[in-house]
Structure 1
Amino acid sequence: MKNYLILLAGSPATGKSYLVNQLKDIFPDMFVITPDEGKEILADSVGFNTLEEKVELENQVWSFYYSVLDLYMEVGKRVILSEYPFSYKQKGRLKRLADQYDYEVITIRLVADFETLWERRRKRDIEPSRHLSHIQTHYHYGDKLEDRTKADNLVTKQEFKNIISKRGYNNFQIGELYEIDVSDFSKVNYTNLKKILSRKINNT
C-alpha cells in the first residue's frame, strides 16, 4: 500500500483549517501536523520578550516539526496531512523527506483574489479567538489585549501582498496538484475533491 503526504497549502485566510476537518471525514486515522499549532504551544510554554526571541522560538518549532514528520514517515504512517502557507522555504526539506521514505505527495492549493484575502486576514488578526502570540512582538501565557487593533506586530496590507508574492504561496507545489479557488466560500464545493482523494488513497 502507498503512503501519502497531503500538503494543504495557500495564503493565510484561505480556509485551510476548515478543509482539514473536511478531510478528517474521509481519513479519520490520518496524522495532522501544523506548524502554527506548534508555535502557539511553544509561545504559551516559553513565551518571548522581543521579535528576535519570537523568531528563535519559531525556528525551534520548525526543527520540531521536521523531526516529528520524519518520525511518522519512518514508522510508515499511511496518511499524513500538514497545513501551512507553504513556500520555497519548506519545499526542499519536504521533498527530501517524501523521497527518503517513499511517500506520494499531494498538494491541495487554495487560492483567492488578494483583496478578499486581505479583508479576511485583517478581520482574523483582530478577532479575540486569534492566538495573541501571532500579532505581538512580546508574549507570555496569560497576556491579554482587549483592543487587538493595538497589537504591535500586525501585518499591513502592503506587507501581506509582498509576502504572498515573495514566498510564492500561489505557486507552491510538490507532487500532484489540486487547486481550489476560495474567493467565495459559499461557492466552494469540497465534495468532488473528497471523492477524488478517497478513491485515490482509500483504494490503494
Structure 2
Amino acid sequence: MDKILILLAGLPGTGKTYLCNIIKNNLGTFYKISQDDLKEYYSDIYGFRNLEEKQDIEKRAWTKYYEIMEQQMEAGSNIMSDYPFSQKQKPQIQQLVERYDYEVLTIRLIADLDVLFERQKKRDLDPTRHLSHIVTSYKRGNHLANRSNADNLLTYEEFITRCTTRGYDTFELGKLYEVDVSDYTKVNYSKLLEDIQLEFIPETSKEN
C-alpha cells in the first residue's frame, strides 16, 4: 500500500492529541509532527515580548514543520500530525503529498462549541499546559501561579469566532472521517481504529 499521512484535524479542544496517542499505541510506527511542540520549543529558545514576536515564533515553527514533513516523506515514513488545520496549511501539505506520492487520511473531530470552550478553558488553566500559549510575553522559566491572570486567554466570543470563521470544521485532504466528540463516552474509538487499519495502514506497519 501507499505511504500514509494521517491528519488529525478539527476544532480546538476535540482531543486530537489523545486520538493521536491511541493510533500510535495501536496501529504501529508513525512519525509524529506537532506544530504546538515546535511553537513551545522555539518559545523556550527565543522567547517573545509581544504578540508580534509571538507570531514570528509561530511562523518559524511552521517553516520547521514543513521542513520536517518533507524530510520524513523523503525517508518514506508513515506520518501523523494533529492540529486545527485550515485552508492556510492545505496547499503546502498537498504539494508535499503529491510530490512524494502519499495517501492521506483526514480525521476531522467536531463537537458542540459550548462544550469545547469549557474544555479549552480547562486545558489553558492546567499547570502542565505550556505557559507560552496563554501569555503575550514569555521567556523560559516564567511561572504564573494563578493562570486565570494570564493576559492572552481566549474569551468565549473570541473562541466562537475562531471556530466559526477559520474553517477548522471543514478542512479535509484525502479520505475523510468525521467524528463527533461532544461526549467522549459515546465515541467508538475501536471502530475508528478498525476502519483505519483495514483501509489505510500498510501491512508492514500492522506487524510492528
TM-score in terms of structure 2 length: 0.94
Alignment of 1:3-42 (within 5 A): 3-42=3-42
Query: 1:25: how far off?
Result: 2.2
Offset from partner CA, 1:165-187 (integer Å, 9 cap, x none): 11111111001000110000111
Flag structure 2 segments of 5+ consecutive residues without an equivalent. Answer: none
1:90-169 matches, cutoff 5 A: 90-169=89-168
CA distance in 2, matches of 1:182, 1:33: 23
Conserved? CA contact 1:8–1:83, under 8 Å? yes
- Tell me the SS of whatever aligns to 2:5: strand
Instruction: Say whether the 8 Å CA contact 2:2–2:202 is kept in structure 1.
Output: no
* CA–CA distance in structure 2, aligned partners of residues 87 and 192 of structure 1: 26
2:74 is the counterpart of 1:74? yes
- Equivalent residues of 2:6, 2:106 under 8 A apart: yes
State the identity %.
48
Moved over 4 A (4+): none
Report Cα offsets for 1:46-95 as digits up to 9, x if no partner. Answer: 11111111100110000000001011111211x10000000111011111
Which AA in structure 1 matches 2:32? Answer: V
Q: How far 1:142 moved relative to its partner?
A: 0.6
Q: Which residue of 2 aligns with 1:202?
A: 202
Structure 1 length-normalised TM: 0.96
SS at match of 1:107: strand
Matched residue type, 2:19: L
Number of matched pairs: 203
> In 2, distance between residues paired with 1:140 and 1:11?
28
Query: Residues 26 and 198 of structure 1 are in contact (CA less than 8 Å); yes or no, is this contact kept in structure 2?
Result: no
Instruction: Determine the C-alpha separation between the residues in 2 that align with 1:172 and 1:186.
Output: 25
| Aligned partners of 1:106 and 1:176 also within 8 Å | yes
Is the contact between residue 6 and residue 107 of structure 1 (CA under 8 Å) also seen in structure 2? yes
| Matched residue type, 1:171 | T
Q: Which residue of 1 aligns with 2:188?
A: 189
Q: Deviations over 1:110-133 (max 9, x none)?
A: 000111011111111111111100
- RMSD (Å), alpha carbons: 1.1
